[in-house]
């Protein structure tokens, strides 16, 4: 009996995943442990391994499709088994080829090439996301496409066939054409070849400049980051306050820990870990900064679930240190490094990236003196950590040089006003300048 393979649920907050790549095709032999397909959540990529051996009998979704969790995506079993009953509603498997139909395959392929379009324009065309994107890119009117996918679905190869044949531009693409151009498409419709003909003639008399470029499709995580950042800036009243503090104390403390970490059994505690610890102890005195803002209400948290911005090969990822206010400095340092490693290796789970109440992002190592971090909605604040600069201050009538670390606090002015935000930043500054006292509390 054929075995269905479902889209896993990677965390309670994940409703669907996008199929990134199929590693097996219909008819391929599958062994236990073979990678069947790669799929993506909004910020992580996973490989689905086969738990049963057999033959890939059916694939119900294409690369790029957004598939609800726990939905059957493919089926494995013995060659020749019928898997139509395993197909999700509205889908039909790309069936494994039967031996007796092998001779008909070339004829079918020729027919598909010979008739890439239908005679009449159709409404409500059933088209895959990848095919729709390809059509938009090349200005192809997919409403005329001859769908060869399951249940007549227009798939990528159908659009490519239209492009290869130079057929059927969209009205927008042909709207400003030269009236002298004669259409050679169905019903005299202007085709890609018709529009390209004048350009080809012109290029024969004048050489076009060399416009070399590389076009790269955006990965899912970049689309998610773009949408999140745009939503944040377009729906919030964001304002940034900048200050700095004397980092002499935390730098001396960090040097002491580094020299004695092996003897004391401590993690490699960094300056950023120290800032994370100070934020977790300070923000509880400023409940508006440790909250979520919604249009008609605010949610105030009794514990600090600290977001940590991590620069990974796949983009910006923000895992969460839950209940950071209840953890020691050493615990925070250990967990921060563990989460950052998972982000960079692509093994972080969605549950580990949710539930943050305030976020810390650090660009100090890049020499950034101040910046405007963007809030992760529905949080109300995000703290930026800047580089260390040498400044001068007056002490007992004398001017002294000192290392100053910058802090940039962006807050949502809908949730809290400037004065409460400034009070939080002022107390945080004081706690960092007197870190030994903060540790003793």
Residue with tokens 């660009």: 363
Q: Distance between the two ends of the chain, CA-based, in angstroms?
A: 64
d(CA 92, CA 59): 8
Give the burial string for 347-374 (b: 16+ CB within 10 Å, else e): ebbbebbbebbbbbbbbbeeeeeebebb
d(CA 228, CA 423): 28
Neighbouring C-alpha atoms within 13 Å toward the C-beta of 77: 19
Task: Work out the number of other CB atoms within 10 angstroms of the CB of residue 298.
Answer: 15
DSSP string of 138-185, one letter each residue:
TTB-GGGB---SGGG-B-HHHHHHHHHHT--B-HHHHTT--TTPPP-S
305 in catalytic set: no
413 in catalytic set: yes
Bridge pairing between strands 381-395 and 358-362 = parallel
53 within 8 A of 32, measured Cβ to Cβ: yes
For 153, the token pair is 């679905």
The catalytically annotated residue of 82, 104, 178, 417 is: 417
Burial (CB count within 10 angstroms: exposed 0-12, middle 13-18, buried 19+), residue 393? exposed
> Measuring CA to CA, how many Å separate 187 from each of 115, 144, 190, 279?
15, 12, 9, 69
d(CA 102, CA 275): 67
- Identify the bridge partners of residue 55 per DSSP, sorted by sequence position: 29, 77
For 272, the token pair is 């950023």
> Measuring CA to CA, how many Å separate 393 from each of 79, 183, 251, 364, 398?
80, 78, 18, 22, 8
Query: Taken in order 284, 290, 294, 299, is the CA torsion positive or negative?
Result: negative
Task: Work out the number of other CB atoms within 10 angstroms of the CB of residue 145.
Answer: 25
| Residue 4 backbone dihedrals phi, psi, to 5 degrees | -75, 145
Annotated catalytic residues are 413, 417
């Amino acid at each position: 009996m054929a075995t269905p393979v479902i889209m896993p649920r990677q965390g309670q907050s994940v409703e669907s995943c996008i199929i990134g790549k199929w590693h097996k095709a219909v008819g391929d032999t599958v062994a236990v442990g073979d990678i069947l397909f790669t799929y993506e959540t909004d910020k992580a990529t996973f490989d689905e391994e086969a738990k049963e051996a057999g033959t890939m009998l059916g694939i119900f979704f294409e690369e790029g499709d957004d598939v609800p969790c726990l939905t059957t995506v493919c089926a494995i079993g013995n060659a020749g088994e019928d898997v139509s009953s395993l197909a999700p509603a509205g889908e039909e498997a790309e069936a494994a080829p039967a031996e007796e139909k092998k001779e008909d395959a070339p004829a079918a392929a020729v027919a598909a090439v010979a008739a890439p379009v239908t005679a009449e324009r159709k409404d409500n065309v059933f088209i895959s996301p990848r095919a729709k994107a390809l059509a938009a890119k090349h200005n192809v009117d997919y409403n005329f496409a001859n769908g060869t996918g399951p249940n007549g679905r227009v798939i990528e190869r159908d659009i490519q066939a239209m492009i290869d044949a130079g057929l059927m531009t969209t009205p927008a693409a042909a709207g400003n054409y030269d009236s002298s151009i004669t259409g050679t498409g169905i019903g005299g419709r202007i085709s890609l070849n018709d529009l390209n003909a004048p350009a080809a003639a012109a290029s024969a008399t004048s050489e076009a400049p060399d416009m070399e470029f590389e076009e790269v499709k955006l990965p899912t995580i970049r689309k998610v980051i773009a949408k999140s950042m745009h939503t944040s800036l377009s729906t919030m009243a964001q304002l940034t306050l900048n200050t700095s503090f004397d980092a002499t104390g935390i730098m001396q403390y960090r040097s002491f820990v580094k020299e004695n970490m092996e003897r004391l059994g401590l993690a490699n505690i960094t300056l950023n870990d120290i800032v994370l610890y100070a934020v977790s102890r300070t923000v509880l005195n400023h409940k508006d900064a440790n909250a979520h803002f919604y249009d008609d209400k605010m949610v105030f948290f009794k514990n600090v679930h600290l977001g940590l911005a991590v620069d990974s090969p796949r983009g910006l990822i923000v895992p969460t240190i839950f209940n950071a206010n209840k953890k020691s400095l050493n615990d925070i340092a250990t967990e921060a490094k563990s989460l950052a490693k998972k982000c960079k290796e692509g093994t972080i789970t969605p549950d580990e990236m949710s539930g943050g109440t305030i976020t810390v992002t650090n660009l100090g190592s890049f020499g950034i003196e101040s910046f405007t971090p963007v809030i992760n909605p529905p949080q109300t604040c995000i703290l930026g950590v800047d580089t260390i600069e040498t400044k001068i201050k007056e002490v007992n009538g004398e001017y002294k040089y000192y290392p100053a670390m910058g802090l940039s606090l962006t807050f949502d002015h809908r949730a809290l006003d400037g004065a409460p935000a400034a009070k939080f930043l002022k107390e945080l500054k004081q706690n960092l300048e007197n870190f030994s006292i903060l540790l003793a509390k």
